[in-house]
Amino acid sequence: MKPQTRGAIEHTAPEQKWPADAERDVREISERLAEVLGIPIEPHFPAGDEFYMVITLPGTAWYESLAAARALSGIVPGCWFTLGRVFIRDGKFFNRERGYKLNLRPSKHHRVPRSIAAKVRNLFR
């Protein structure tokens, strides 16, 4: 039997809650991540836009970008991050299921290499 979740989803607000101190935390962690991963990470917080935060990452450092996105999504729980066609929430990767519809499924293809993951893991200890 399928779980009956339509009512629970239907009556929830679509807005994501951005914590009050998230901007400060993101700036601090971004600086530390930039030092450890060796890529520029400069967060921008546009006022009144549809995004709470925008970060431009280099396209040549894909795995470092995945590690940074995973770490930043862990700081702001419950908020969705996007990196290209990858969606990240609470440190987990998701991608679209077949085509253009927004049916998300856990990604089996996006992984951070152990060497990069170890750098980021040691950063938060």
Per-residue pLDDT of the chain (125 residues; tens, 9 = 90+): 555 555 655 666 667 788 888 899 999 999 999 999 999 999 999 887 778 889 988 888 999 999 999 999 988 888 899 998 899 999 999 988 876 677 888 988 889 999 999 988 877 65
* The two three-digit tokens of residue 125, written as one number: 């200890």
- Determine if the pTM surpasses 0.75: yes
List of residues 6+ apart from 23 with CB closer than 8 A: 43, 45, 53
* The two three-digit tokens of residue 91, written as one number: 């440190």
* The two three-digit tokens of residue 113, written as one number: 């290499």
Look at residues 62, 68, 18, 22 and name the one whose alpha carbon lies nearest to residue 41.
Answer: 68
Is residue 83 within 8 Å of residue 65, measured between CB atoms?
yes
Is residue 52 within 8 Å of residue 94, measured between CB atoms?
no
Element holding 55 (H helix, E strand)? strand 54-55
SS3 89: strand
